[in-house]
Structure 1
Amino acid sequence: MPSSDVDVDSILISLKYLGPFQIIQFMLSNIGGLIIYANNLLYVFIALLPTFRCNDLTDSQLLTYNISEGGNEVEYSQCHVLIRLQKYPNVTAEPLILDCPNGYNYTTPLEKSIISQGYLISTCTVITEMFPAKKRNLMTGLSSLIFSFTILIFEVAVYLTRHKSWRVLVITCASFSVYGFFELIFYKESLRWLFAKGKVMRAKEMVQYAAKLNRVDFDQTWQIALREIGTEYEIENTELVESAMEEHKHSTRAEEKTFEIKETTKLQEELKDELVEIKNQNTTSSSVTSSSKWIGIITIIQYSYTRSISIIIMFNWLVITVTYHSFFLLSETLSGNLYLNFLFLCLIEISSCVIYWPAIVRFGHKRPLVTAIFSGSVFLIIAAILKGFGGSSQEMDDCFMVFFMLAMLGIGSAFGGLYLYSPELYPTEVRSVGLGMCSASARIGNMMAPFARMLATYSAWAPSTLFGTGCIIGSILLLWGLPETFKKRLPQTIQELKHIEKSKKLMALEAKV
């Protein structure tokens, strides 16, 4: 049996899923959320859309256009200076239009306005692969909650530098990336990925290190892996193992019998590991040219199941990301202080994680995610209707804010839920590639989000209606087109995923018969 078929969940359970090793790796992954928020939401504060108008005309310019101070009316707009000349009393001549000869007057500092993500993928993938199936939703939900709290640190950094130049804010946020050096030193590779790629010796070293930190018997834990990958090679290479053992016995004849048995057993295990490594390397090297088409993006596109789930989940990433980031960008257009609005949105984000976490532990990923997307979309459309057609009374503004925040609660839950659900849809060997494709579609959403703020200046209800409709479509596609992964073993390879799908189809046919 190849190493990709090893039951990694059993090894993780044997290692204690909440031992010191897992806790260290888990916290290293989640603290990095500060880097993600600092890079993704920084533009909310340094890319404001300023309000502006033409600068006033000077006294000399007024004289140049033969404008008297009391007999003429001058209007300053964003792009033009309009001068209404009076030829005679109660008789107005054709207006004179000037193209802002003295430039513009900005109410927002120019250094904080617009006048002219790979880290998160690996983090979510490793966290998903770190825990066994029964505890995966519990720990990934906790991870989402910890991630949301790191946004408060970003809010504090932004607030403390609010009176400084944008360069100070950028340097402050960039300094958070120094934390990456600690991850480089202490962060370990995913055990599932090592087995899926046939890197047995590296997997053994990692299990040995984890067993030492968790104070678990390494030999007992590693026997789980040997039962899966060692039997085939033990049968095929019995003669080689026995001859090596015989040579070892002759060379250690003068030693004590107990020491000889111990060393022989150790040699036997080392030979098994070496044979497994060699076998995997030979298999890999011999099939590079013939099976390279089954690796990465080409694999996902060629296989109908992964292709269909990729289209659906990528569409959801696109519409939810553009909606999520638009909430933060539109915080500038809401009444009140920008920093208080942003803090309020951050608290709603944390609240959404607090609600979503027990939901996925109880019901799995699919139902809570669909509910969050659909409810957030409906609230968003209601908020758009109130904004566009409800008038400008204080009561309507209050109702708009209530539905706007409820929409943020739903979309915020869905945004975090996508990061937890998407990695479980792909097998280990292409999980990072699949999540990378989703992230690529999300980056398109990031590029679209600033235009939503500009569209809101022309039609206040249009962005919310557009995004709400897209999210409703995404929730329907997700409900009917994607599977539930709750407490299910993560597939290691495409072949294993194919086998699972064939088994489901066979069971469905048998049920009909």
Structure 2
Amino acid sequence: MCIAVLHAGFSVCYMLFGVIALLCHGNWRLIQLIAGLSWILFLPSLFFITESPMWLIQKHKYGKAEKVLQTFAKFNKKTLLTGNILEVDKETQNKSPAVESKVKKERQYTLVDIFKTPRLRFRALIMCFNWFACSFVYYGISLNTDQIGNNPYTTFILAGLVEIPGRLLAWGLLKVFGRRWSLCGFAFVGGLALILSVPPEIEEVSVAIAMVAKLCIAATFTIVYLYAAEIYPTVVRNTGMGMSSMSARAGSIISPYVMLLDVIWAPMPFVVMGVTSMISGLLALLMLPETKNKKLPETLREGEFFGTSKAVGLKGESKLKDKITNDAHELKPSKSSEAEETSDKAEKSEELGTVNEAYQ
């Protein structure tokens, strides 16, 4: 829901940008000035947005984490007892050099780790292609609305308006059909509509079909943000999201030039964008696992076996039956460290309970 609302806000500003361009009579210098100065409105948000308490706890900044949790609890009219967090903070500061060295040497996962195992690597590439396709088609339509209809300002504003129901519809269908079918459905229908928007000679029909394509592509963008975050294991989630976003930027870079293909064949730009969208949707349906109501992967091993018969448990994914033997970085703990590991897990469990209490 949060992703859908945030993306709907993006669509509102998209429409507003078209209104500003209309009022400025297409003066690009004035439009650029207004767009640049508008960011000043967001400066006050620096004083209201807090850091993630989970991230602060992972970085052993327990004092700051307590302040954030107290803020959340106060806003939700809850009473939170977090004295234990301060005690842990003091203990952390007084740790022996050996333990401090262990904390500093915590494993830092990188982009390379995503490509070490075959199944996770393949899924990451499919996800990156979906992001590429979404951005390629989305900006291919958005930056070339003057090719659809006679009034570029009206078409641009309308293209932003149809995004809002598309993003909210995506949120609703995600709860019913899951991620794979929703992503495939929107991407396939959007691509097909984009291809069909070319033949009609009646302008109103062509614009209407193109707007259906824009609605579907906006919905796919909302879905891939959620889907990618659920596909990548926790230890490489930020890295995976960054890689996917980079792929989307590649699509947005290419999109302004797609219209140059009309010198070969007039409908070709729309056919290329439509086919790209349809292929990405089919790949997601056939190659990616469903994540709805599943325990999401946390480690690289869980990410590798996620959605397969080798991952079994209470919700079908919570316990691994086999292990990846070629992961040299994930070593089995020795017996001498089991007691310390158990203590660390108990400490983290208590901290997570405090966090959940603040969010309720």
TM-score tier after normalising by the smaller chain length: 0.7 to 0.9
> Which among 44, 51, 68 is matched to residue 189 of structure 1?
51
Offset, 1:407: 1.9
SS of match in other structure, 2:147: coil
**Residues 425 and 503 from structure 1, CA distance in 2 versus in 1: closer, same or farther, beyond 3 angstroms?**
closer
Question: For the structure 1 residues 495 and 405, does the alpha-carbon distance in structure 2 shift closer, same or farther, using more than 3 Å as the test?
Answer: closer
Give the superposition deviation at 1:313: 0.8
Match of 1:274 among 90, 93, 99: 90
Residues 196 and 490 from structure 1, CA distance in 2 versus in 1: closer, same or farther, beyond 3 angstroms? farther
Task: Supply the distance in 2 between the matched residues of 1:474 and 1:163 (Cα, whole angstroms).
Answer: 35
Structure 1 residue 377 displacement after superposition = 1.4
- Tell me if the contact between 1:365 and 1:485 (Cα under 8 Å) persists in the aligned partners: yes
Task: Write the distance in 1 (CA, Å) between the matches of 2:172 and 2:221.
Answer: 16
Residues 279-294 of structure 1: matches in 2 within 5 Å? 285-286=101-102, 291-292=107-108
Q: State the shift of 1:495 in Å.
A: 5.4
Question: CA RMSD of the aligned region, Å?
Answer: 3.3
- The residue identity in structure 1 corresponding to 2:23 is L
* Residue 10 of structure 2 is aligned to residue 205 of structure 1: no
Counterpart for residue 177 of structure 1 = 39
Per-residue deviation, residues 394-435 of structure 1 (Å, max 9, x unmatched): 44x554334322222222211222223222323444333221
Inter-CA distance 487–207: structure 2 relative to 1 (3 Å threshold): farther
Structure 1 unaligned spans of 5+ = 1-137, 223-265, 388-393
Aligned to 2:187: 373
Relative contact order higher in (CA < 8 Å, ≥ 6 apart): 2
Amino acid aligned to 1:203: A
Residue 481 (1) aligns with residue 317 (2): no
Q: Deviations over 1:138-176 (max 9, x none)?
A: 333333333322322222222222254x22211110112
3-state SS of paired residue (1:486): coil
- What is the CA–CA distance in structure 2 between the aligned matches of 1:204 and 1:145, rounded to whole Å? 32
1:148 alignment counterpart: 11
Question: Counterpart in 2 of 1:439?
Answer: 245
- Whether contact under 8 Å (2:178, 2:291) holds in the other structure is yes
Higher Rg of the two aligned structures: 1
Q: 2:119, 2:304 within 8 Å by CA — same for their partners in 1? A: no
Q: Which amino acid aligns with 1:212?
A: K
Q: Distance in 2 between matches of 1:269 and 1:454?
A: 60
CA contact (8 A) 1:198 1:281 kept: no
Q: Deviations over 1:278-332 (max 9, x none)?
A: 679976743756834xx23122233445422221111111122111111122211
Hey, what's the Cα distance between the residues in 1 that align with 2:23 and 2:252?
A: 26
Partners of 1:283 and 1:366 in 2: CA distance: 44
Q: Work out whether 1:158 is the aligned partner of 2:21.
A: yes
Q: 1:371 to 1:505 in 2, by over 3 A?
A: same
Q: Cα 1:324–1:270, aligned 2, differ >3 Å: closer, same or farther?
A: closer
Quote the Cα distance in structure 2 between the aligned partners of 1:349 and 1:189.
30
- Structure 1 pair 406/213, CA: closer, same or farther in 2 (3 Å)? closer
**What TM-score do you get using the length of structure 1 for normalisation?**
0.55
After TM superposition, the structure 1 stretch with the greater mean CA deviation from structure 2, 145-154 or 343-352, is 145-154
- Paired with 1:281 and 1:486, the residues of 2 have a C-alpha distance of 44
Secondary structure of residue in 2 paired with 1:188: coil
CA contact (8 A) 1:349 1:413 kept: yes
Contact kept, 8 Å, 2:194 with 2:274, in 1: the verdict is: yes
Preserved contact between residue 229 and residue 237 of structure 2 (Cα < 8 Å): yes
Cα distance in 2 for residues equivalent to 1:171 and 1:281:
54
Once the two structures are TM-superposed, the CA of residue 502 in structure 1 deviates from its matched residue by: 9.4
One-letter code aligned to 2:7 = S
Question: Where do 1:247-396 residues align within 5 Å?
Answer: 270-275=86-91, 285-286=101-102, 291-292=107-108, 295-384=109-198, 386=199, 394-395=201-202
Residue 503 to residue 399, structure 1, CA distance change in 2 (3 Å)? closer
Q: Which residue of 212, 225, 238 maps to 1:406?
A: 212
Structure 2 distance, partners of 1:281, 1:485, is 42
Partner Cα distance (1:342, 1:485) in 2: 35
Structure 2 residue runs without a partner (length 5+) = 320-360
Q: How many residues align?
A: 315
Moved more, 142-151 or 493-502: 493-502
Aligned AA for 1:172? I
5 Å-filtered alignment, 1:216-255, equals 216-219=78-81, 222=82
Task: Measure, in 1, the Cα distance between the counterparts of 2:284 and 2:100.
Answer: 36
Aligned 8 A contact 2:149 2:207 in 1: no
